[in-house]
Chains A and B, each alone.
Chain A
Amino acid sequence: KNEVEQSPQNLTAQEGEFITINCSYSVGISALHWLQQHPGGGIVSLFMLSSGKKKHGRLIATINIQEKHSSLHITASHPRDSAVYICAVSSGNQFYFGTGTSLTVIP
């Protein structure tokens, strides 16, 4: 069993839709990270959070420590949001990664 589970694995949305990607984890963490990876590209850190909620532009990330769950929301989705979104947690001396959610936004 992976320490970090994401859902859905794949997601296709129409431009303008509200999108939610979920992440659950099973280990004690000091922080949770949402990362974005474009095809053939490296990883960009979107958020790091240990409680509550953060917002950056059209992206919102929330975390519930008691339930060991986080969500990444994208409002008014756009084709340029198409990428793989990866949830990762900091635990001990390591990061644990989910397998990613592949998002395609259709114009």
Chain B
Amino acid sequence: DTGVSQNPRHKITKRGQNVTFRCDPISEHNRLYWYRQTLGQGPEFLTYFQNEAQLEKSRLLSDRFSAERPKGSFSTLEIQRTEQGDSAMYLCASSFPGQMNTEAFFGQGTRLTVV
């Protein structure tokens, strides 16, 4: 296992289209996080999972956004009816079970451009 993997790395879509991103965490990690980073800003929390349970969602996650982690392994983040304001880097991170004071492992991110 070489770390957290995100696909695709880049996505360009037309406004109004739906997009889905995938994150494969480090295999023994049961916590998985999604963040969004816009230009010139630090990452902002979107949601996190412990195993397959989605435990917390940010108010940034509007009803057009949905995240799943059906088997407690990989996760998907879907954006419906994309808007230009959704253009950002979407980052995934994972951590060891129940341990917050461990090193954070981040994926390379998916850069979304909505045109």
Q: Which residues of A contact B (CB under 8 A)?
A: 4, 30-31, 33, 35, 40-45, 48, 50, 86, 88, 90-100
Residues in A neighbouring B35, C-beta threshold 8 A: 95, 97
By beta carbon, the residue of chain A nearest B93 is A95
Given contacts A33-B103, A95-B93, 5 further A-B contacts (CB under 8 A): A4-B42, A35-B104, A88-B43, A93-B56, A94-B45
- For chain B, residues 27 to 79, give those with C-beta under 8 angstroms from any C-beta of chain A: 33, 35, 40-45, 48, 55-56
- Closest residue of chain A to B103 (Cβ to Cβ) is A48
**Which of B11-19, B80-88, B107-115 contacts its partner?**
B107-115
With A42-B107, A43-B106, A44-B106 in contact, is A95–B33 under 8 Å at CB?
A: yes
Residues in B neighbouring A86, C-beta threshold 8 A: 42-43
**How big is the B interface, by class?**
20 to 34
| A-B CB contact pairs (8 Å), 28 listed | A30-B100, A31-B102, A41-B108, A41-B109, A42-B91, A42-B106, A43-B108, A43-B109, A45-B104, A45-B105, A48-B103, A48-B104, A50-B101, A86-B43, A88-B104, A90-B101, A90-B104, A93-B48, A93-B55, A93-B100, A94-B56, A95-B33, A95-B43, A95-B45, A96-B45, A97-B35, A97-B42, A98-B42
